[in-house]
Amino acid sequence: MDPVTDTGQHRPNGPHHPVHCGIVPPHLLDHLSRLDDPAFAEPARRTLERDAAQRTRRRITTVRGLAAPPGPRRPADDAAPERTIHDARGTETLPGDEVRAEGAEPVADESVNRAYDGLGATFELFHTAFARDSIDGAGLPLDATVHYGEKYGNAFWDGERMVFGDGDGEVFKDFTLALDVIGHELTHGVTQYTANLEYFGQSGALNESVSDVFGSLIKQHALGQSAADADWLIGAELFTSEVEGVALRSLKAPGTAYDDDVLGKDPQPATMDDYVDTSSDNGGVHINSGIPNHAFYTLATTLGGNAWERAGLIWYDALTSGKLKADADFAAFAAATVAAAHARYGDGEEEEEAVREAWTAVGVEVSAEARPVG
């Protein structure tokens, strides 16, 4: 079956509607839902239904302005995570019962503890590497709910909290197992409070890619891995042993994360030569994100060392510059990263040239005049 058949998802109404359907792309769930085996199909159908309801909720939240702007910034010395974990206990009621608060000892439920630690690792990366106080830059409390739904095969940021399913046990395991998945979804919150990239087409693929990039950096930072040592996989812990695959996505080699009789083959392209035009998945946001993902991997490994120290700073500066339009395409984001490298490191430095070469390697050209504005 074609991995990008139309599943009825179309362009959101206007540029400021960050509709995030979760770490598992809808084309993969749609594929599972059409299988004859109910062990695969029924959990996937339920997950797709819940994800559709979540997309509607996020649109309503954004339209009504319910996602509050950042509050006043607190002194740098006061910056610390404020985490609360809830348990939905297999229901779809949010937030669920509070089971662990900031500073409390670990509990018997390891899903709770992993969620707590993952929120902390995300806070730590953004704070220590980028001097950002939580995802809004102003100390936003970090909340999460575990054990959401029945065999729910996804995890998502709903604009206010992280939500984790337990997986179906056939394809997916507990979604709290993957630190980069936690980081990925929380980074959607960072994007929400900064560039607010429209969740469609190339801007949507950038939205997904930024989350993959920082999700990977959060894992690398927590593990103390250099760019050379990292696996550059997203969700390597999610598949059961029955799946022929290593992860949901690979920044190092897009299109190679899985090739399975049940799941099909990873459809991500690594370069613009293989860009996928589709009306599915909000214009291929989880598919074409492989292109900017690979540009970042190329930059990080070219520069070497810890990826969050130079490559990550450049991407972060571009995302938070205030100069990106919500409908920015790959070329606009590439130009923003060149400008960020120039602004931070100076004219003609190694970093700026490496950024240009990374985008050229994936088929996105950047004009020689790309520089900071103002």
**Hey, which residues are catalytic here?**
185, 286
331 backbone dihedrals φ, ψ, rounded to 5°: -65, -40
Which residue in 311, 291, 313 sits closest to 301, CA to CA? 311
- E strand map for the chain: 83-87, 97-101, 142-146, 155-157, 162-164, 233-234, 249-250, 259-260, 264-265
Which residue in 25, 20, 23, 21 sits closest to 180, CA to CA? 23
- The sheet that has 83-87: what strands, in order across it? 97-101, 83-87, 142-146, 162-164, 155-157
- The answer to whether residues 172 and 298 touch, using CB atoms and an 8 Å cutoff, is no
d(CA 371, CA 374): 9
Q: Which residues contact 157 (CB under 8 A, 6 or more apart)?
A: 20, 163, 185, 186, 188, 189
Helices 350-361 and 290-303 cross at an angle (nearest 10°) of 140
- The answer to whether residues 194 and 211 touch, using CB atoms and an 8 Å cutoff, is no
CA 90 to chain CA mean position, Å: 24
Neighbours of 295 (CB within 10 A): 30
d(CA 81, CA 222): 15
d(CA 138, CA 28): 36
